[in-house]
Amino acid sequence: MSRGLRKLGPPNYGALPPTQDERASLANALNKFVTVTFPQYAIRKTHAGIFGVPGFWQDSSTTVQLWKPRDYNMPLLVIPYRDELGRIQACQLQLQPDDIATSKKKYRWPASPFESCGVSSGTAIHFTFKPATLPPGQTVVITEGALKADSLVSLRPKAHVVAMSGVSCSHAEIIAAVRPYNVLIAFDADYKTNPAVTRQLARLIAARERDVAAHHIKTGTRIVTWVGCKGIDDAIRANICLKTMTILKWISALDERLLPETSTAFGQFQYSPTPSIKAWVRNHAIF
């Protein structure tokens, strides 16, 4: 709720029990549900019907387990990643501060590729809308993380948002998803100081422009900027003014030490803005 989600938002999320025993009990119940509800799927698995779903695995005593073989101090927030039809295609976990070291990531995929009968989850992208109902030529926002995307839509209901799980993840999938639309890229503001984030943002922009050119699409790409907060949802809650920049203006506004990152990302791609990008100079109504 503190992130700006409406009262109806929290039921869309879940909590993974903090102890391994509780998660094993949950895994057993889910295994029975899958076996009964999806018998054709269950018979393809030699040990348990739930195997093949990321996060589930089998210990040495053949007990079905869920997530890591350890206990936590607090429950883990379960964040669904929804596909273009609104179906949950993956889930991400958010660990609470008492359960992670300062240098470790708080968002994790419930993958178990190194455990017995476990599998990887991949890196899904998250839709806050159904593309089938949004006509080509409309505007879509790209941001980081499903929770941030949902918060953004809660704060700005007119926004249509697609989220990647991290700045370096799923660029090809994101670009394909937003191909028919004008795009506002709203990465966290740490790209202004972190060369690695700058590089990934530049890679995404360059790949998007290549895709636009390859498909002869007359859509524009702009970057959303703000001052004083890390994420766009934080900026909106703080009533900070949001601005949009053309790609060329964004590049020109970067600190000189970050410019090599953009050169590396754009590579041999000779960037020149299309007429539609030049013409699209006003802030969009959703902000």
Rounded CA separation 42/49 (Å):
4
Q: What is the DSSP letter of 258?
A: G
Q: What is the pLDDT of residues 49-94, one digit of tens each?
A: 888 889 999 999 989 999 999 999 999 999 999 999 999 999 999 9
On whether both 34 and 161 belong to a single domain, the answer is: no
- At 104 the pLDDT is 83
pTM for this entry? 0.87
Rounded Cα distance, 143 and 102, in Å: 23
Q: Are 103 and 172 part of one and the same domain?
A: no
Domain-ending residue, one of 108, 138, 173: 108
Residue 11 has pLDDT above 50, yes or no: yes
Whether the pLDDT of residue 114 is over 50: the answer is: yes
In degrees and rounded to multiples of 5, residue 142 shows phi and psi of -105, 130
Last residue of a domain, one of 75, 108, 141: 108
Q: How many domains does the chain have?
A: 2
Last residue of some domain: 48, 73, 108?
A: 108
- Say whether pLDDT at 268 is over 60: no
**Whether residue 132 is found in the same domain as residue 271:** yes
Q: What is the pLDDT at residue 267?
A: 65
Same domain, 256 and 147: yes
pLDDT(281) > 50: no
Flag whether pLDDT at 44 surpasses 80: no
* Tens digit of each residue's pLDDT (9 = 90 or more) over 216-242: 998 999 999 999 999 999 999 999 999
> Is residue 50, in this structure, part of any structural domain at all?
yes
Phi, psi of 141 (to 5 degrees): -100, 135
Contact 225, 237 (CB under 8 A): no
Task: Give CA–CA dist 64/42, Å, rounded.
Answer: 14
Confidence check: pLDDT of 194 > 50: yes
- What is the 3-class SS of 24-56, one letter each residue? HHHHHHHHHHHHHHCHHHHCCCCCCCCCCCCCE
Give the residue from 124, 170, 169 showing the smallest Cα distance to 146: 124
pLDDT more than 70, % of the chain: 90
What's residue 26's pLDDT?
96
Output the pLDDT for position 282: 41
- Same domain? For 185 and 253 the reply is yes
Does residue 36 sit in the same domain as residue 168?
no
Q: Are residues 237 and 206 both part of a single domain?
A: yes
Do 52 and 171 sit in the same domain of this protein?
Answer: no
Strand partners, 80: 91
In which domain, by residue range, is 73 found? 10-108
- Regarding whether 267 and 202 lie in a shared domain, the answer is yes
Shared-domain flag, residues 203 and 248 = yes
In a domain, 266, yes or no: yes
Residue 1 has pLDDT above 80, yes or no: no
Residues 147 and 75 in one domain: no
Q: Is residue 284 part of a domain?
A: no
What is the Cα–Cα distance from 18 to 142, expressed in whole angstroms?
32
Min mean pLDDT across 143-152, 220-229, 253-262 is at 253-262
- The whole-angstrom separation of Cα 268 and Cα 273 is 15
CA distance between the termini of the chain: 21
Check whether residue 198 and residue 137 sit in a common domain: yes
Half-sphere exposure of 205 (CA within 13 A, CB side): 34
Give yes or no for a contact between 191 and 201, defined as CB atoms under 8 angstroms apart: yes
